Amino acid sequence: MKKILTAITGASGALYAKKFIEIINNFGNQQTIIISNPGKEVLKHELSSKFPENNDKIFKYIIEEWNIPNPDLITIAEVDKFNASAASGSNAADVMVVIPCTMGSAARFAQGVSTNLIERAFDVMLKEKKKVIIVPRETPLNQIHLENLLKLSRLGVDIIPAMPAFYQKPASISNLADFLVGRVLEHLGINHSLYKKWNGSK
């Protein structure tokens, strides 16, 4: 069982976060979820207008409305609470996934700025030499974006841009999200059947 920290920032791509949370839970991994305030707004806009803002209500909503067979494995942490376990290296997760990741978050990650628990947890993961994956979602990218992503890559961060492929002939938006989430799972060493892997041109 992996101890996974899932962070959701305010970039478009809420479906990626939902699918990742569901699949990690279905695989029986312990998961702490931190959602930025803009992230909550995006979840509400892109997934459901009923998505709540209060963390207790978020937990209830997720376990009732999403595919969460193991609710006891999920914890919701307050984004503004720096006394959470994710803020300390003595209780760091095995891996952190920021899905989706705004360019603003990437910039603060690259500079070591901690204005909320997501950014503090990222800083902790780096100093503890733990695995970190970010899923940036922005287009087009300017030079500042690229420089920040390059710096993060040089620091050992896995960067998996929200760039779904089409060789698997996706039939829906959900299939596109499956591909992206599947790529994240592969970098976590988790086998899956979310999409048909490329096996050469027929």
Nearest CA among 13, 69, 64, 4 for reference residue 34: 4
User: pLDDT tens digit string along 38-88?
Assistant: 999 999 999 999 999 898 899 999 999 999 999 999 999 999 999 999 999
Q: Which two tokens stand for residue 178?
A: 């499956």
Annotated binding-site ranges for FMN: 10-12, 36, 102-105, 137
pLDDT tens series, the chain, 202 aa: 789 999 999 999 999 999 999 999 999 999 999 999 999 999 999 999 999 989 889 999 999 999 999 999 999 999 999 999 999 999 999 999 999 999 999 999 999 999 999 999 999 999 999 999 999 999 999 999 999 999 999 999 999 999 999 998 999 999 999 999 999 999 999 999 888 888 876 5
Q: How far apart are alpha carbons 83 and 90 in whole angstroms? A: 12
List phi, psi (to 5°) of 169: 55, 65
Question: Which residues carry a binding-site annotation for dimethylallyl phosphate?
Answer: 167, 183
Extract the annotated binding site: 10-12, 36, 102-105, 137, 167, 183
What sign for the dihedral angle of Cα 193, 191, 74, 4? negative
Token readout for 94 is 């095995």
The candidate with the shortest Cα–Cα distance to 144, out of 110, 113, 93, is 110
Domains identified in the chain and CATH numbers = 3-187 (3.40.50.1950)
Query: What whole-number percentage of the chain has pLDDT above 70?
Result: 99
H, E, C per residue of the chain: CCEEEEEECCCCCHHHHHHHHHHHHHCCCEEEEEECHHHHHHHHHHCCCCCCCCHHHHHHHHHHHCCCCCHHHEEEECCCCCCCHHHCHHHCCCEEEEEEECHHHHHHHHHCCCCCHHHHHHHHHHHCCCEEEEEECCCCCCHHHHHHHHHHHHCCCEECCCCCCCCCCCCCHHHHHHHHHHHHHHHCCCCCCCCCCCCCCC
Q: What is the pLDDT of residue 202?
A: 57
